[in-house]
Structure 1
């Protein structure tokens, strides 16, 4: 989580950062389930990650990503973040569908690496950039476009 610019004090950014923490914590439970090897536990843990991640990514894309992408300086970056949301969904499905422990662990490692990098890019790049680039009207639009948690 960014701790240097104060962007977490912006309501919607603070919400997304808190959700990032919840998603990371749930992914730790998924890792433990993968380590234990119980398919039922893996499926339940993956479902919990998906339950947290799906509305989170949809809200980011509807609100802050939409407004940030209107600035040509950020369009490609936002496109990359949206693509990563799709990749994370696919990796999560791969973990559940993995035929054996080795493939499941490899899939989880890829998922976690992508998830942590993705969150870092949002928390330490996109959100601070929005805090600098946006004034009141942009934040009002972000709030209006962002679905409730």
Structure 2
């Protein structure tokens, strides 16, 4: 190997070995290109207005309204989480049932293959029209 190739894969000093690379800056400004759902835009009316010039009573009313909205959103979140958990539980049950049905189908196919093989073997083996063996099997043994 050449020296530049080795230096590219291995640091020259111990300080470079333990150096922590800088983390990239978070990309919060742009949405990912392959995002499944668009990010909801906040309307200007829902953004808090400057509080300059508002009385304490108005600020208290806004705070109460914000807490009520927060409580409503928490209830909606709890309902959505419960629905998701129920759906995951049902999906797990369906996967188990699907696995059981696949096993039953495999067993049934194995049995059918065995029956088909047996029927094919019986079809291929020709029984003679008359023989001492077939004539004597119903009389408890051979006749002398």
TM-score, scaled relative to structure 1: 0.27
Tell me which of the two structures has the higher relative contact order, counting C-alpha pairs closer than 8 angstroms and 6 or more residues apart: 1
Structure index of larger Rg: 2
